[in-house]
A = this chain, B = another copy of it.
Amino acid sequence: MPFKTTLVDEATERTAKEYLSKGTQVRCVHPQEAPEKITCQYDEAFAVVGVLDEAGKAAEEGYDGVLISCFGDPGLKPARELANIPVVGTAESAMLFGAALAQRFSVITIPQSLVCVAEDIAKLSGVYDKLASVRHLGSQAFEMRKEQKVQRTYDEAIRAIEEDGAQALVIGCTGLLDVPAPLQQLLREKKGYDVPVIDPVGAPVKFLESLIALGLSQSKLTYMAPSK
């Protein structure tokens, strides 16, 4: 969790545990050096070194994998160079689920500054052709109560489906962790839209578990180990 605020710790742990296989243990950590929260690429820049520090420690301490729990995937690629255990990002994993389940998906995030970030991750992950749009709630949504967040996300989801052609939704911010389940239900009940809503903690957690179970990790030809 590459930021200082502990506001989403409880929801992140709860969500992760909800989806974990039996026997998997998760530890949430915040790096010592980190921005208060992440709302743009400038914030992300101050998160990277802390991410690497924690990823390195995790590998040394015998953890089986690392998840960078922030939708901008800060430090994902250098951490993959550093570590010999699989490292997954939130956005990349969640978008791959979106690409697999629908012809086109939209991402809904909070800050406008992260729209281009999400587009760039889709381009580099190879799923840009299936990205219908990236929509944002605006930074005031960080302060909303859960019901408001669900309502605002619902409004953008309807636009994504009806104007942009989305057929699945990726929730693009760990500040919206309790939104996916009620949103999926609302869309079905109010409009009859039976579409998958992909959770930005659940999807990467399961993807990481899968890699560990399969004995797979990032390619060391793509992410070569740094020379000492």
Contact = CB atoms under 8 A, between A and B. Distances in A.
A49 B52 contact: no
A69 B108 CA distance: 34
A150 to B, nearest CB: 17
Interface residues of A, number: 76
A45 B96 CA distance: 25
A42 B52 contact: yes
Contacts of A220: 193-195
A202 B216 CA distance: 11
Please give the count of copies of this chain that the complex contains: 6
A39 to B, nearest CB: 6
7 contacts: A40-B227, A81-B113, A101-B218, A103-B222, A126-B126, A196-B218, A202-B214
A164 B70 CA distance: 28
A48 interface: yes
B194 A101 contact: no
Given A21-B22, A41-B77, A130-B126, A222 B167 contact: yes
A163 to B, nearest CB: 10
